[in-house]
Amino acid sequence: MNSLFSLNTLVLFAAVIIAVPSCVVFGAWLWPDWGLWSHLSETVLGDYIVNSLVLAFGVGITCGFLGTWCAWCVSQYQFAFSRYFKWLLFLPLAFPPYIMGYTYTGLLDFSGPFQELLREATGWGYGDYWFPDIQSMSGAIFTISVVLFPYVYGLAYVAFSSQSQSLFDVSRSQGLNERQYFYKVALPLALPAISAGMLLAMMEAFADFGTVEYLGVSTLATGIFRTWFGMNEPLVAAQLSSGLVCFVLFLLWGEKWVRRKQRFYHTRNTTPNQPRRISWQRQSIVLASLLSIFLLAFVIPVIRLVSWSVLVVQTSPDFAALFTLLKNSFLVAAIAAIVVMTIALLFGYAQRAAPPKVIKNAIGLATMGYAFPGAVIAVGAVIALGNTDQWLNKLTLQLFDFQPGLVLSGTLFALIFAYVIRYLTVGYQHVLSGLARVSPSLDEAGKTLAESGWGILRRIHAPILKPTLLVGILMVFVDVLKELPATLILRPFNFDTLAVKTYELASDERLTDASLPALFIVLAGLLPVWFIQKNINTN
């Protein structure tokens, strides 16, 4: 009992600390600057809101279409290379959206290879022809969607594959053709999974900063940076951040409300789904569509990054600086991943032990961080840690006539703290899924052997959960490696990471120089993608 009490106390303390920055963002409304808000509302606030909504829903719809189409084709049809497309379509997840934006800008702008080939082939000059503008809202929707559609694809593929073959057979016996079966049977059953994937993509679109900032699309995420660093108004930036969070929370509520009366059940899959043979004409259409998506979402951007990187290597790059970037990036990512999974393990074990309601609510509040964009968390962390530093300096000055300066804010602690808040949800969900596979009888056996709660966690659960924890560490590691907004705001002075350096070089229009750190981020991103495709439920 005492050990359980101490665990609950520790969990409650950790959850409260983790939740503070999120609460600070909303607490900033205690000091509103109505004059500045009036100025924002008359100038840019409307564009921020409209563009954020258009971007999020555009990305959601595009990802929903691409992911559902790919999942349906791969799970239902037999065609050339179909078994390879099952995992190839996960590879775009290795790209952060902002790197995809930089890459396609280099490919499609006026000096890029596509327009150069067009001018050489036709003899046209500037202004003589129309070409899609990548630096636009449609360009932002495209670049973000080709990275995030695997969210929908993975969930929809599992949903379609798990549907019993008997459903298709019965539908055909009732006179339904294949299109009617898709819309009346298969799609409704897979809709919860598809909507969940679309929701994840839309949340990422709301949170995106690097892509929209580079492509010149003003959203709430870019507005937070401009208000803070351009206008030097951190409290107003925090208030603007609360609006962005409200959009994300409303999105979560809206998705649940839309599906509140939808109930679709199917019995256990006694007859596995059997992909069907299709004519060579349909095979050609399916193969061409999937290959086009894969080329646009992965192959072409990778080729461009590699070609740029080769040019950089040939011009004697600063390998010492690159090594420093790698060291900094891997250091903060490794520390954050270990801390996240340690806290997630404590939270998961406390949740398993049926804690009091206050502990459950605290855990729920602390694990909402993934719904908060990185910029929002960074704003809350800066304000919370900055005020804590001021209080500590006043206290030490009174007690010891000494001021330690910045102890928390402006240090690696602040950066790791923000990463933990942002990605604790990822680790927590991994731990919960792992604990769900551990029989409660093992807990009872540990108690009969007089093991304390800590002993059961250390000797029983931790060894069993080791594979799950390792996968969780890897997932968080790569997420931290790709994180841009929080790192830009919270990094210590003269401390750069791969993501920050890529952003800075691309912002200076040095896309070729930005390719090498960008390529390292993409290569690191392939690791969790490999785990995802390895563990997905395939037929």
| CA pair distance 415, 328, nearest whole angstrom | 12
pLDDT of residue 402: 82
- Which class in CATH covers the domain with range 45-307? mainly alpha
Do 152 and 194 meet the contact criterion of CB atoms below 8 Å apart? yes
Residue-level pLDDT at 476 = 87
pLDDT at res. 265: 52
Counting beta carbons within 10 angstroms of the beta carbon of residue 275, is it exposed (0 to 12), middle (13 to 18) or buried (19 or more)? middle
Give the distance, in angstroms, between the CA of residue 361 and the centroid of all CA atoms in the same chain. Answer: 24
Q: What pLDDT does 50 receive?
A: 94
Residues in contact with 71: Cβ distance below 8 Å, sequence separation at least 6, in sequence order: 152, 153, 154, 156, 157, 159, 160, 190
Show me where the domains of the chain are located: 1-31+317-496, 45-307
Q: What is residue 275's DSSP assignment?
A: P
Say what the alpha-carbon torsion angle 163, 166, 167, 170 is, to the nearest 10 degrees: 170
| Under 8 Å between Cβ of 124 and 325 | no
Both tokens assigned to 273: 């789904």
CB–CB of 396/403 below 8 Å? yes
Residue 331, Cα to own-chain centre: how many angstroms? 20
- Which residues, at least 6 apart from 272, have a Cβ–Cβ distance to it below 8 Å? 164, 165, 539
Q: What does pLDDT average to in each consecutive run of 10 residues of the chain (539 residues)? A: 64 87 84 87 92 95 95 89 87 90 90 86 83 91 94 87 76 78 84 86 89 92 87 86 84 69 53 78 91 95 92 81 90 93 86 77 83 84 88 86 81 92 86 71 62 64 74 85 89 90 89 90 82 56
Q: Enumerate residues 6+ apart whose C-beta is below 8 A from 417.
A: 21, 381, 385, 408
Angle among Cα 256, 258, 260 to the nearest 5 degrees reads 65
Phi-psi label, residue 238: left if phi above 0, alpha if psi -120 to 50, beta otherwise: alpha
Rg (CA), the chain: 25
Q: Hey, what are 250's tokens?
A: 């409303």
Nearest to 258 by CA among 175, 202, 314, 334: 202
- DSSP secondary-structure letter at 78? E
| Measured distance CA(12)–CA(63) in Å, rounded | 38
Output the pLDDT for position 375: 84
CB 349: neighbour CB atoms within 10 A?
23
Domains 1-31+317-496 and 45-307 share a fold: yes
Convert 410-420 to b/e letters by CB count within 10 Å (16 or more is b).
bbbbbbbbbbb
CATH T-level fold of 1-31+317-496:
MetI-like fold (1.10.3720)
| DSSP element (H, E) containing 428 | helix 412-435
DSSP 294-357: HIIIIIHHHHHHHHHHHHHHHT---HHHHHHHHHHHHHHHHHHHHHHHHHHHHHHHHHHT---H
C-alpha span between 494 and 267 (Å, rounded): 58
Q: What span, in angstroms and rounded, lies between the C-alpha atoms of 231 and 114?
A: 39
Which pLDDT score is estimated for 1?
46
pLDDT value of position 19: 86
* Most distant CA atoms of the chain, gap in Å: 86
Taking the model in full, what pTM does it have?
0.85
User: Residue 173's Cα: distance from chain center in Å?
Assistant: 43
Helix (H) or strand (E) holding 276: strand 276-277
Q: What does the alpha-carbon distance between residue 322 and residue 505 come to, in Å, rounded to a whole number?
A: 13
SS3 for 96? coil
Measured CA to CA, the distance from residue 269 to residue 87 in angstroms comes to: 23
Q: Which helix (H) or strand (E) holds 42?
A: helix 34-43
